[in-house]
Amino acid sequence: MPGYPALPGGIAYGGDYNPEQWPEEVWHEDVRLMREAGVNLVSLGIFSWGLIEPSEGVYDFDGLDRVLDLLDSAGIKADLATPTSSPPVWLRHRYPASRLVDSAGHVIAGGSRHSFCPSSPDYAAASARVTERLAARYARHPAVAMWHVHNEYGWANAHCYCETSAEAFRDWLRDRHGSVAALNHAWGTTFWGLSYGSFDEVEPPRLAPPGLLTALQLDFMRFSVDAHIANFRRERDIIRRHCDLPVTTNFMIPNCKPMDYWRWAGEVDVVANDHYLDAARTDGHIELAMAADLTRSVAGGRPWMLMEHSTGAVNWQPRNIAKRPGEMRRNSLVHVARGSDSVLFFQWRASRYGAEKFHSAMLPHAGTDSEVWREVTGLGADLRRLADVRGTRVEAEVAVVWDWESYWALELEWRPSVDLRFRERVEAFYEALWREHVTVDFVHPSADVSAYRMVVAPSAYLLTEASAKNLHRYVESGGALVVSYFSGIVNENDTIHGGPCPGVLRDVLGVSVEEFHPLRESGTVSVARPPSRPPSGPPSGPPSGPPSGPPAGSPSGPPEPAPDERATGRIWSERVRLAGARAVRVFADGPDAGHPAVTRHELGAGTAWYVATALDAELRGLLAEALDQAGVSRPRDLPDTLEFVRRGAHVFLVNHGDEPVTVHGVTGVGVFDGVGHAGAVTVPPGEVTVIRA
C-alpha cells in the first residue's frame, strides 16, 4: 500500500484550490502568493465534474492541464480529486432514478452537492467513467503527488430511501443474515408481531409511526456505510490500475455521526480529516484535541493529514465567529502535535459567490494587507522549521473506547432518558483527562488494548460478548478499566444481554444494577465517600507498555476531598448492588441514597471501576485517583490552560490562557527561536512553544 505522499518541505501546507472560480490571470498571482506563504500542496478539482464533462461523454481537460502545469512550474504539488461528490446537472436530469430521496419519500432537489443516491447504478457508471479519464490522463503528471477520491462522504446523503436503495438494502441483508428466519431472530420481530415472510417484504426505515424496529435501523446504518465505501473502492481501484500514488478521501471525524470510520480506516492509504471548530463552544480547543486524537487512532497511530480546517470564520454555523489573533496558529500546531503531517485549509482564495463566500480563506477578501495573511505566511515558516516532526508518532498510556455503532444505538428513540448522549459522556471523560495532561488514544472495544495502563469506556451501551471478553482479559492481565453508566446493555442487534445490567460487563465490574433511575431535567444527586474507607491496594497496570509510576512532584488536579465532602451527579442514578466490587463513593441522597455510586473491583492482576452517575467537575479528581493507582505518567503542577503533548522527540507546549506558564522538566532547543532550555520553559499567553529534546 502506498504511504504518505512525498512532498518538498516536510509538513504539507496549503488547501483547497478552486481556480475555476477566477480568470486565468489570477492563477499566476495565486501561484506567486502560494510560494510566498510556503504552500507545497493544494487539493485540486474537487468540484470540477461539470467543467471537465460539460455533457455526457464530452470532456474538456484544457483548464486542468494548464493549472497543473502552472503548479508544477512553481514546485507545488497537487492532491488531485475525483469530482464525484458534486455530479453535474445533466446527470440528475438524464438519470432521474439517481436522485436522492429522504425518509418521507421526498425527492431532494439539485442545486447543491451530494444530491445523489449512493446506491444508484447510473451514478456508479458515470463516476467510474470520469475517474477513468482523469486517472489515465494525469497518473504520471509530475505535479500530482496523491489522489483525493470524492469529498466528505456522508455529508448530506448518508442515507437514501429510494426504491433502488431499498433493493440494495435487501441484497445486503441476504448477505448478512443468510435467511429471513435468521433476520427475524436477530431483529426480534416477534415483538408487535412484525415478522417477515421474505426479504422482499423488508422496507428501509422510512418515516413510520413511533417504535420502528431498532435493529432494522442499525442494519440500515451499516448498509449505508457499506454503500459509500463501495463507491470509494470503485474509484480507488480505477486509480490504482494507472499509478501507485497514495489514494485518500477526507473524513469528518468526529462530526459525521453516520460514517463508521473504523470500517473506513483500512480503505485509504493515508487517513485524512476535515475539522472545524464549533464557534459556540468556549472549550473548542479541547474538542479539537479530541478530534485529532481520534483521527490519529483511526489511522492506527500512523501520521495522518489535516485536509481541511479554517483560518477564521466558517460560513455555515448560526454565528460565524472569527478566530482571534494567534488562534489559527494554535489550532494548526495542535493538530500537528497530535499526529498530523499536514496543515491544509478550506480554502486558498476566498470565493466571491456561492454558498461559501463568507467562509474564511488563506487569502481573504481583504488581500495580503491583512492579519490573516500575515498569520498564514508566519505559519508556513513555522511548519518548515518543524519538518523533522514528519513521520514521528504520539505515544499514549490511556485509551478511550469509541464505537460508532454504539453511538447510533444509544441515540435511537425510547431510551430511558433523552439526556443519554454518546458524545456528552465521552467528551466529559476526555476533558477530565485533557485537564490532567494525559494524551489518549481511542480504540474500538474489540481492539488489542494490552499496551495501555488504563482503558476508559464512557459510553458503551452497545457491546458485543466478544468485546466484553476482550475487556475482561485486559483487566485480569493487570489493566485498569473505568466504565461509565448504561454500558454493556445490548448486543449488536440492540437486544438486551441476559440477566441484570450491566449485562456483559457484570463480571468484570463486580456489580449488578437492579433498576435505572434517570433524573429529571436539571436534577442532581449528591455523591460522597462511604463512612469508612479501607486502604487501597498497590498500583496495578498492564504487564507491558511504558515504565510505571508517575514522575516526581505533587499530584495534579484538584486536592483530595475531605471524607464528608460531596460531589454532584447529573442525568443518571441507579440501584447498584455489589457482587465482588467495593463502593468508593455512595449516593448521599436521591432515589438511590446509601447505595454505591462509584465502585472498584479487583479482578486478577487488574482493577475495574464503575461510575453510576454523571460526575462533572468531580470526575477529574476521580480519574486522577484511578490514573495514579494505574501508574499513568503525566506532567504535574501545570495549569489546565497549558496543553502538553509529546510527539517523537518534540514537546509541544500550547498556552490557551492569558498568563505565562513555566513548564519544568523540559530540556532541549526551541524549534522556532533556537533558544536552549535546561529544565524549564516559559510559554507566553496564547503562544505555542515546541522543544526538540
SS3 (DSSP) at 42: strand
Which residue has cell 500530482?
144
The residues with which 646 forms a beta bridge, in sequence order, are 651
Catalytic residue among 53, 152, 235, 405: 152
**Distance in angstroms (rounded) separating the CA atoms of residues 377 and 531:** 61
Q: Is-contact 301 278, C-beta < 8 A?
A: no
Distances (CA, A) of 567 to 428, 433, 597: 15, 18, 11
The residues with which 147 forms a beta bridge, in sequence order, are 80, 247
Q: DSSP string spanning 127-167? A: HHHHHHHHHHHHTT-TTEEEEEESSSTTSS-S---SHHHHH
The residues with which 662 forms a beta bridge, in sequence order, are 682
Residue 520 is placed in which grid cell? Answer: 429529571
**Distance in angstroms (rounded) separating the CA atoms of residues 529 and 565:** 8
SS3 (DSSP) at 476: helix
Going by C-beta distance under 8 Å and a sequence separation of 6 or more, which residues neighbour residue 668?
651, 676, 677, 691, 692, 693
SS3 (DSSP) at 292: helix
CA-angle at 637, arms to 635 and 643, nearest 5°: 55
Classify strands 582-587 and 524-528 as parallel, antiparallel or unpaired.
antiparallel
Q: Does 24 qualify as catalytic in the annotation?
A: no
**Distance in angstroms (rounded) separating the CA atoms of residues 651 and 657:** 18
Going by C-beta distance under 8 Å and a sequence separation of 6 or more, which residues neighbour residue 435?
557, 620, 640
**Distance in angstroms (rounded) separating the CA atoms of residues 531 and 525:** 18
Q: Is-contact 461 406, C-beta < 8 A?
A: yes
Q: Does 152 qualify as catalytic in the annotation?
A: yes
Catalytic residue among 53, 235, 287, 308: 308
Q: What are the residue numbers of the active site? A: 152, 308
